[in-house]
Amino acid sequence: MKVSTILDKIDEGAMALPEFQRGYVWNRAQVRGLMHSLYRRYPVGGLMTWLTKTETADARGDGTLQPGYVSLLLDGQQRMTSLYGIVRGQPPRFFEGNADAFTGLRFHLAEETFEFFQPVKMKDDPLWIDVTAAMRPNGDETVMKALDGVEIPLSPMVLATRVGRLRGILEVDLLVEEVTGDEMTTDVVVEIFNRVNSGGTKLSKGDLALARICAAWPDARDQMRQRIDGWREAGFSFSLDWLLRNVNAIVTGRAEFSYLADVDGAMFQDGLIRAEKAINELLNLVSGRLGLDHHRVLGGYAAFPLMASYLDERGCKLSGQEERDRLLYWYVNSFLWGRYAGSTETVLNADLTALQGEGDALERLIALLRQNRGDLRVTPDDFRAWSQGARFYPLLYMLTRVYDVKDWGTGVPLRNELLGKLAGLEVHHIFPKDRLYKAGYSRPEVNALGNFTFLTKATNLEVTNRDPLEYIPAYEERHPGVLASHWMPMDPELWRVENYLGFLTERRILLAGAANEFLAELIDGTGRDVGVGPRMVDEHGRAAAVDLAEDDEAQVIAECRAWVAEQGLAGGVVDYELLDDATNEPVAMLDLAWPEGVQLALTEPVALLLNEPPEVERLAAAHGFRFFVSPSTLRDYVEREVLGDDQAATQAVGIAVEAVHDS
């Protein structure tokens, strides 16, 4: 079937995208590679479609489907979306992704190469033509007319031949295989889809469940995204799968997505409304009572479906402070001890079952924690972890927010909402990193939780990298008691760099004591009702969360992550936790990682490791990660091997792309 015919079928609603397909994920290098191959008439692979009745077709987008039957794309979405966007100058109706990946494509008539628009490079060279303009009806005449009278090193015949070859892409024949038959249910077709796309992104159980829901309620995906966008504005980053898990727990009382098969559109819509209400209330609870007010410090995302179900059963109204604090006690312990770090569905089902029946459901949940963990008391050794990705990092932030911890420079309690550009909280290394590195301490020691505290940005700038033996006494003299409020050892001998390990030992003891004191207040109902600020989320999930500024190293990581995301690639996971295959216990922390590749499921797992010891590098490699030790080397990898910005890489991608199935 000719490319032009396929594009016409998309316009007519005769060809569409099944709801279970994920969005557009190609980058510019892949688009260039496709056009490179098509221009040279290299094979680019065929398409696979599912011919199904229009009345039962579960298609993405708001386009009108033709009556009778419609062909749903199983294999070829990325190629056809790219071609549609280039030829029509806009994405198809079913589009979901980054349109910058295929807009602004140019073709050089002399070099016969494709590049995306670059004003400086192309402004004085008339041989760079707009591919979309050339593909329009009479586009060849438009190109030739624009070049008429312009002095160029090509004859009119050569120009016409090359423009014709470019436009001839529309006449390229692609093999279209068709899946049809009454036995082709959604489950069967998804299995075919996953087999065909074995080299690409597989559909998760959540994807399939959401596809079924969208068949009954077409607006489901958009409605869920609206909620997620609202929480993101409030400082919390959640995924569709996570929200789906919350709705599932509320509607079915189970963890497995397969139980949603019996949920109709109206039931799911009601469940989403209830889940949103419960999640908003939970975010208010953990923000207002625990001070965990943004995603970097919000531990235990996986615990929310259980808590949302608990709240929903009670109409999102708890009986009072005691019930609230006991629920939060369970929540804090669930993330401290990795309750959902392993088999999430199995553990969540056990916890959802514990909610049922007569008696004290919270007591049953806490009993399950004790059964799994034993002693729930925090020990000094638990604070031996390091980096901002450690499970106990949120606990340290929480203690700072709920207790009367004061800023060293101002003496103002940090639990208050602080206003002003220099008043936001920052992570502070009590012993400056450069002094510790110069003294020979390792990275885990330098970035130990015991060396972290929180200060306002103004005070952090004031401290800079001064010697603790110099600045600590000065702040204590200025505001007596501020040091002790941070659980600081007050023996001056421990403020010496050579005694740093002794300082860590003593501070861990103090932190463990504070943690156990607060947890006891939660479980016993003896604590004062400490409010750390106003409600963080309104009934629509909108609010402004307190931002935790990054330290120098974290800023480098954040900038690197943002740069990769700006290329239309995955943003990566900060402080990615490597788990032991046998025990599910953390064995290392990767500063920034893409476990499914910077182009999800299409490139290898990669990680950025800054100043990591050889052991962490070894563990990263053993877990299948290709790692880089500087942002520049990671960036070079992305540009050369993923984006293909150098000519050789671009041509290699162009030749190889046709052999890869796309979804």
Distance CA 213, CA 263 (A): 8
What pLDDT was estimated at residue 403?
87
pLDDT at 257 over 90: no
∠ CA 180-241-546, nearest 5°, is 150
Q: Please, what's the b/e burial string for 502-534 (b: 16 or more CB within 10 A of its CB; e: otherwise)?
A: ebbbbbbbbbbebbeebbebbbeeebeebebbe
Distance CA 584, CA 344 (A): 12
- Interval 579-638: pLDDT, tens: 776 665 667 778 889 887 887 656 788 999 887 777 788 888 888 899 998 888 898 888
- Interval 380-414: pLDDT, tens: 998 887 766 577 888 888 898 888 789 998 888 88
Give me 355's structure tokens: 């909610």
What pLDDT was estimated at residue 113?
94
What pLDDT was estimated at residue 525?
67
Cβ neighbours of residue 485 under 8 Å, at least 6 residues apart?
403, 404, 405, 406
pLDDT at 269 over 60: yes
From 121-130, 338-347, 427-436, 467-476, the region with the lowest mean pLDDT: 338-347
Band (419; pLDDT cuts 50, 70, 90)? very low
- Interval 190-216: pLDDT, tens: 666 666 654 444 556 676 677 778 767
Residues of the chain with pLDDT > 90: what percent?
Answer: 39
Q: Which of 124-138, 433-447, 630-644 has the highest mean pLDDT?
A: 124-138
Q: For the chain, what are the domain ranges? A: 3-179, 197-373, 380-524, 550-629
Query: Strands of 47-53's sheet, edge to edge?
Result: 15-16, 69-75, 47-53, 176-179
**Strand pairing category for 548-549 and 113-116:** unpaired
Residues of the chain with pLDDT > 70: what percent?
Answer: 84
Q: Note if the pTM is more than 0.95.
A: no
Band (333; pLDDT cuts 50, 70, 90)? very high
- Interval 90-108: pLDDT, tens: 999 888 877 888 889 999 9
Band (426; pLDDT cuts 50, 70, 90)? confident
pLDDT at 145 over 80: yes
Band (647; pLDDT cuts 50, 70, 90)? very low
Distance CA 309, CA 247 (A): 9
What pLDDT was estimated at residue 421?
39
Cα–Cα distance list, 464 to 338, 349, 433, 461, 482 (Å): 35, 49, 10, 5, 18
What pLDDT was estimated at residue 191?
66
